[in-house]
Amino acid sequence: MLFVCTGNSARSPIAEALLRHHTAEGVTVTSAGSRPKTHLHPNTVRVLGDQFGIDITGLQPRHLDTLAGRRFDHVMTLCDKARETCPEFPHHPRRTHWSIPDPAPARATDRATYPAFQRDAADIETRIRHLLPVLTSTND
């Protein structure tokens, strides 16, 4: 499973961490961005720790190009820009799109954006729970 958003600093790392958490690493999952930031947004780390007890302090954003040639069964885009720019992958993975708003608009403070991170994390959590039966039936 590959989760893709533009910066790979908020939505896609949240989705990656939540899916890994719910599958106890039974599903291979990663995330990447079409224009990755240099580091995770601080609220990404904070919301996953606060709401789910997940520590991702060592995770770094990565560019989609670093995954060229890898095989994925599922590619999930999490923002409209990523959907438009996401490349084709070999073996024609199942592609799905979740349009999730950016929780960290430019020039907003970390404190001001934290509620948006909480909403996005809760939304992604709900979507991941609905995705789990699809993934487990695919892996059988």
Of the residues 79, 104, 124, 131, which is catalytic? 79
> Is 61:8 a contact under the CB 8 Å cutoff?
yes
Respond yes or no: is residue 9 known to be catalytic: no
Helix (H) or strand (E) holding 135: helix 110-138
Respond yes or no: is residue 110 known to be catalytic: no
Of the residues 4, 5, 10, 131, which is catalytic? 5
Identify the bridge partners of residue 32 per DSSP, sorted by sequence position: 4
Respond yes or no: is residue 138 known to be catalytic: no
The C-alpha atoms of residue 70 and residue 90 are separated, in whole angstroms, by: 7
Of the residues 27, 86, 128, 135, which is catalytic? 86
* Cα torsion 99, 132, 42, 56: sign: negative
Which residue type occupies 15? A
**Known catalytic residues?**
5, 79, 86
